[in-house]
Amino acid sequence: MLNEQRLIEEAIEQTGLRDFGDEGFREPLGRLVEALNTEAQMNDFGELRAQMTINAGLRHRLQIHHYLQRHPQVLDAPVTRPVFIVGLPRTGTTALHHLLNCDPENHTLRLWEAQNPVPPPTTETYHNDPRIQQQRESVALTETFLPGFSRTHLIDAEAPDECYMLLNRNFMSVEYSALYHIPSYANWLYAQLPHSDSYAYHKQQLQLLQSQHVGNWVLKAPFHQLGLRAILHTYPDAVIVQTHRAPMQFVASGCSFLALLRRSGTDNPDMAEVGSDWMDMLRAYTETFERDRAELEAQYPNQFLDLRHDDFVADPWATIEALYQLRQLPLSAAARQNMSQWLAANPQGKHGRHEYCLADYRIEPAEVESLFGDYARRYGVDMN
């Protein structure tokens, strides 16, 4: 069993720090721990992983607050025109993120700096920081604990990753509900994240990370579908990129990925439960984002870009050029060359074929049609 107070005390002991900053993290932490203990059916490894993830969140929260107290000027620097890639899971967000990472003027959230943000990275040591090798060693263990992961998601210490990790530190993160069946926490999170101050904390961490290594932020996470209103409040000049794909494909692919994540932490996860959790998440994401986009897009003109997965695969350059035009930034010859090399080195299916089937997760096509029929017609994508 996880013990909330013991987790807090361990983080204090490990860091020698006691001030967590804003105490608002305690309610989501308490809800998370309760759900993990009562709903997740964790095996021994699952409980260890949950303990380690929460411990890391608490330690980093202490370290981030301590650093910002000593360097308050960090919070005076603007975060200018960040790009948020907000498409639903399995719709091509990762490929686009990696491609934009090839531009040296962009600052994507590299896995190693996301996992170890203090002290902030410097430009001089950005490619040889000792934390990179530490992260490589962690990544090398991924396939041991999650067999098949490398076929479904690009991961590397120096590669860009999702910024849900920034919200692990106030415990308003979908990582936990992806790894475990914790519906009470997940449903609470889906309802609360759009109205929380989580993106203010998100911005503080970007300000910390850019303080000694500047660049144009390019961020990606499907959970941003819940946060559109808060994103545009916190980053009023943000560019929002929504990726689209045939729903029958991304729903089935997502279920397969979720099942893979849960197998190591729960003995014999229920596939119907996986399907139900995935559909609940997609419903919350889609309904929240589409409602908020319909209201907000007119207030933020020329800040939204739609990207269809199949069009992007057929001609990525049209998408890249449209995005740079929207950002009002040049696409340099060096960036174009780097992107060309990445495309050549990462053809579709490079890491093996990812097989998936809706029926395996007890999801009927009619359920997907009901949720995404209007969406598919609105954005001009096929259902299949």
- Selected from 3.65.10.10, 3.30.460.20, 1.10.375.10, 3.40.50.300, the CATH number assigned to the domain covering 80-168+198-379 reads 3.40.50.300
- Provide the whole-model pTM: 0.93
Which band of pLDDT confidence, cut at 50, 70 and 90, is reported for residue 155?
Answer: confident
Residues 354, 151: contact at Cβ < 8 Å? yes
Condensed to tens digits (0 to 9), the pLDDT of residues 317-371 reads 999 999 999 999 999 999 999 999 999 998 865 544 555 689 999 999 999 999 9
Bond before 236 cis per omega within 30 degrees? no
Q: Strands 239-244 and 304-308, how do they pair? A: parallel
Which band of pLDDT confidence, cut at 50, 70 and 90, is reported for residue 92?
Answer: confident
Residues 218, 108: contact at Cβ < 8 Å? yes
HSE of 84 in the Cβ direction (CA atoms, 13 Å)? Answer: 32
Which band of pLDDT confidence, cut at 50, 70 and 90, is reported for residue 157?
Answer: confident
**pLDDT for the residue numbered 233:** 97
Average pLDDT in the chain? 93
Which band of pLDDT confidence, cut at 50, 70 and 90, is reported for residue 152?
Answer: low
**pLDDT for the residue numbered 59:** 98
CA dist 304 and 33 (Å) reads 37
**pLDDT for the residue numbered 156:** 81
347 Rama sector, left if φ>0, alpha if ψ -120 to 50, beta otherwise: beta
Condensed to tens digits (0 to 9), the pLDDT of residues 230-262 reads 999 999 999 999 999 999 988 998 999 899 899
**pLDDT for the residue numbered 186:** 97
Which band of pLDDT confidence, cut at 50, 70 and 90, is reported for residue 384?
Answer: confident
Burial of 238 (0-12, 13-18, 19+ CB in 10 A): buried
Closest of 328, 355, 315 to residue 99, by C-alpha: 315
End-to-end C-alpha distance for the chain, whole angstroms? 43
pLDDT at 377 over 60: yes
CA dist 43 and 48 (Å) reads 9
